[in-house]
Amino acid sequence: MTSLLRRGALFLFVAVIVVSSLFPFFWMLVTSVKPDSELFTRTPRFIVTSPTVERYTHLLDGNIPTQFRNSLIVAVATTALTGLIALLAGYALARYRLRTRHILTVVILVTQLLPQTILVIPLFTLFRNAGLLNTFQGLTLSHLALTVGLCTFMLRSFVVEIPFELEEAALVDGASRLRAVWSIVFPLAWPGLAASSVYAFITSWNELMFSATYMQRPEIETLPVALQQYFSSYYTDWGGVMAASVIFTIPVVIFFLFVQKRLMQGMASGAMKG
């Protein structure tokens, strides 16, 4: 009986957590298909009597597809470059006996504590002189400033856990250091790469300040900038905001599901080591 009560309490607790986590997404989806007459009511309505897809049709007929593509290009490029740079930098901090490696690790962490606003003007001046304003390359580089530091620290922790004897065996067999990293470290660091790629993708996908500052032409705007157009001093189109937010959320969910298996492998590996 006691065991049954514990299972029931655990099930109830998990159910509350799941419902609490999914309710914002449910409310966002429901609000996006509500007609204007049902948006502002005295009591919330969880069931839509007359759903409409007019807002989605309006979005797809406008600039949202282009802005969606722009955000996807920058986010994918940022994620790929962050993974490559962070893996090599993390490997160097974990394997090479540099006198300053501890100082470098601290510096990397400290840079993540700096507010984003500090970087806006220096990067703007740099990109203007280099001709990178209003380019995907410039925006991707600015996003790397937000993602590489923390991802380097994350991947360094994963590389430290990989036995160096595996690399030594590859080196003895005639492999170069880069070949050993590619054949040994890279496959074993997949869980860390998955975790860091999720962070990099979400950070780049949601970033607004750099995108609004460095991308000043409508045809190269990203989705976070587009969402700001639904807010004004006098009126907010909540239905349009929710519809755009649903579209905005889809790539993040798909990307997370894509790397979920690797993330679970990393969690299970950590539990076994613990």
CA distance 212 to 225: 6
Closest CA to 168 of 185, 186, 155, 180: 180
Check if the beta carbon of residue 160 is closer than 8 Å to that of residue 95.
no
pLDDT of amino acid 165: 84
- Tokens 């993390």 correspond to 90
Give pLDDT < 50 ranges for the chain: 267-274
pTM here? 0.83
Q: What pLDDT was estimated at residue 94?
A: 84
Q: What is the pLDDT of residue 204?
A: 94
DSSP-assigned beta bridge partners for residue 159:
none
CB 209 within 8 A of CB 116: yes
pLDDT at 268: 44
> pLDDT value at position 262?
64
Q: For every residue of 53-100, which 3-state class applies, written as one string?
A: CHHHHHHHHCCHHHHHHHHHHHHHHHHHHHHHHHHHHHHHHHHCCCCC
| Of 220, 238, 195, nearest in space to 71 by CA | 220
pLDDT tens for 213-234 read 999 888 899 999 888 877 776 7
DSSP string covering 172-240, please? HTT--HHHHIIIIIHHHTHHHHHHHHHHHHHHHHH--HHHHHH--SGGG--HHHHHGGGB-SS-B-HHH
Which stretch of DSSP H or E encloses residue 105?
helix 101-111
pLDDT at 141: 94
Which residue matches tokens 């189109």? 237
Give the per-residue pLDDT at 274: 40
Tokens 């797809």 correspond to 60
Is the separation of the CB atoms in 86 and 151 below 8 Å? Answer: yes
Q: Helix, strand or coil for residue 43? A: coil
How long is the chain? 274
Residue 132 DSSP one-character state? -
Mean pLDDT rounded to a whole number for the chain = 84
User: Which are the contacts of 87, defined by CB distance < 8 A and separation ≥ 6?
Assistant: 155, 159, 185, 186, 189, 193
For the record, the structure tokens of 159 come out as: 């590389």
